[in-house]
Amino acid sequence: MPTARAGIGVAVVNGKIYAIGGSYNSLGETEEYDPVTNTWTTKTPMPTPRIYFGIAVIENKIYTIGGDSGNWTAGQTVTNVNEVYDPTTDTWETKASMSTKRMALSANVVDGKIYLIGGGLTATEVYDPSTDTWTTEEPMPTAVGYQASAVVENKIYVIGGAVEVTLNQIYDTETDTWSNGTPLPKGVDAAAAVATTGVYAPKRIYVIGGKQNLDAVNFNQIYDPETDTWTTGTAMPTARYGLGVAIINDTLYAIGGREGWAGFPISAANERYTPVGYIPEFPSWTILPLLLVATLVILICKQRLPKTSSSCWLFKPRLAASEVYHRLAISKSQKEYEQNRKKLATKSGGETKR
C-alpha cells in the first residue's frame, strides 16, 4: 500500500479493494488496489479523516461511520459522522449521522441495512441507506470495543475485543436476539475478520492478527459457524493489529496496521492468504478453447454421418445394457413367433388336405 496506516478501513467494490482513512495526522487517504494488476491508485480522500471507524458496502457505495477524528495535537475526538464514497464517480457525500458517537465499532450489512455494533457500548444501531434513517435494535449483552466481526447467513458474529476478550457474541438479525458461541481460543483486540462464502473455500470466519499484551500478533483463528468450533490456520507473515482484511472470491488480503506498540512501525503491508480447501476459480480464458474443440468435434461428426442420419451420435444417449438386452429379447421372440406360426400353418394345411 502506498501510504502506511493503522486503524484503517477496507472494502471491496467490483473486484477492487479500497483502503480508507487510518492513522492520526493522516489526510484520510483513499487508495484503490487492483489485485489483477497488483497496482495501487490514489483517489479522493475522505472529508473527515478518521481511524477505527465502521465500514460497509451497499450497492457499490462505501459507507464510513463513526470513528476517531482526532490527531496527536487535539487528542481523541469520537464522532458519529456518516460519509459515503462512490468509486464510480470518485466522490464523497455526507449522510444522516449515527445517533451515538463512538469509535472502534463494527459495521455489517444484512438485507440492505448496516448494523453498527460495539465501540465500548452495547447499542445496536441500524442504518437504512434507502431512506437515510436510523433505528435501534436489541442491545449487545456485553459491551466490547476494538472487536472483529463478520456475517454468515444473516447472523452477525462479534468476536474478541479490548482487552484480549474471547467472547463470541452472535446477533440474529431475523429474530433480533443475541446468543453466545464458542469463545475465541486466543483473546485479541484490534484484529480483523471476514467470512468466506463457501463457493471457492469452505464457509468459515477468519479472525486475523490483533494485539495481546500490547504487542501485535499474527494469529489466524478460524471459526466454523455450523459446528461452532475453532481451528488454527497458517499464521500471517507480518504480525499486525489495527489492520483491515478484504476478501475477493474467498481469497483474503490483509492490509495495513501497526506492527507493535510504542516504537514499532505503522505497516503498509498487503499480504494475501488462500484458505484451506480453496478451489481455484475456473479461468474465463479457458472457455473459448473448449468451445472451439467442441465445435470441431461436431463438424467432424457430421461429416462422417450417413446422409440418412438426422443427428450427430454425440447427442444421442447410449442405450443402457438392460435396454439392449430387452430389445434383443423382443427381436428373438418375434423371430420365434414367426417360425412357430409358419410351422402351424404348414401343419394345418396338411391336415386339411388329408
The domains of the chain are located at 9-273, 284-313, 317-354
Average pLDDT rounded to a whole number, residues 17-22: 98
Domain 9-273 has CATH 1.10.10.10: no
What are the residue ranges of helices labelled H in 173-249?
A: none
**What mean pLDDT comes out for the span 141-165?**
97
Of 146-155, 174-183, 263-272, which gets the smallest average pLDDT?
263-272
Neighbours of 6 (CB within 10 A): 24
Work out the pLDDT band at 299, boundaries 50, 70, 90.
confident
Is the pLDDT confidence value at 329 over 60?
no
Say what the pLDDT of residue 247 is: 98
Q: Is the pLDDT of residue 337 over 50?
A: no
Q: Quick check: 317 pLDDT over 80?
A: no
- Identify the band that residue 136 occupies on the pLDDT scale cut at 50, 70 and 90: very high
Cβ-contact 24, 70 below 8 angstroms: yes
pLDDT tens string 93-112: 999 999 999 999 999 999 99
Give the model's pLDDT for residue 296.
76
Q: Which residue has better confidence, 292 or 77?
A: 77
Q: By mean pLDDT, which of 93-97, 277-281, 335-339 is the weakest? A: 335-339
What's the pLDDT score for residue 301? 67
pLDDT, the chain, mean: 87
**Structure confidence at residue 25 (pLDDT):** 79
Chain centroid to CA 243: 18
Radius of gyration, alpha carbons of the chain: 32
Share of the chain above pLDDT 70, in %: 82
pLDDT of residue 297: 72
3-state percent breakdown (helix, strand, coil) of the chain, nearest 5: 15, 35, 50
DSSP 135: E
Return the pLDDT at 347. Answer: 47
The 3-state DSSP class for residue 285 equals helix
> Can you name the residues that pair with 267 across neighbouring β-strands?
none
Torsion, CA 210, CA 67, CA 70, CA 270, rounded to 10: 40
Q: How far apart are CA 139 and CA 244, in angstroms?
A: 25
- pLDDT tens-digit profile of 71-98? 888 889 999 999 999 999 999 999 999 9
pLDDT tens-digit readout, 193-251: 999 999 999 999 999 999 999 999 999 999 999 999 999 999 999 999 999 999 999 99
Phi-psi region of 47 (alpha: psi -120 to 50; beta: other; left: phi over 0): alpha
pLDDT of res. 149: 98
Question: Quick one: pLDDT at residue 64?
Answer: 98
Checking if the pLDDT of 158 tops 60, the result is: yes
Q: What is the pLDDT, as a whole number, of residue 343?
A: 53
Which among 63, 10, 18, 68 has a CA at the least distance from the CA of 40? 18
pLDDT for 204:
98
pLDDT band at 132 (very low <50, low <70, confident <90, very high): very high
pLDDT confidence tier of residue 140, bands split at 50, 70 and 90: very high
Q: Residue 328's pLDDT band (boundaries 50, 70, 90)?
A: very low
146, 157 Cβ separation under 8 angstroms = no
Q: Is the pLDDT of residue 187 over 60?
A: yes
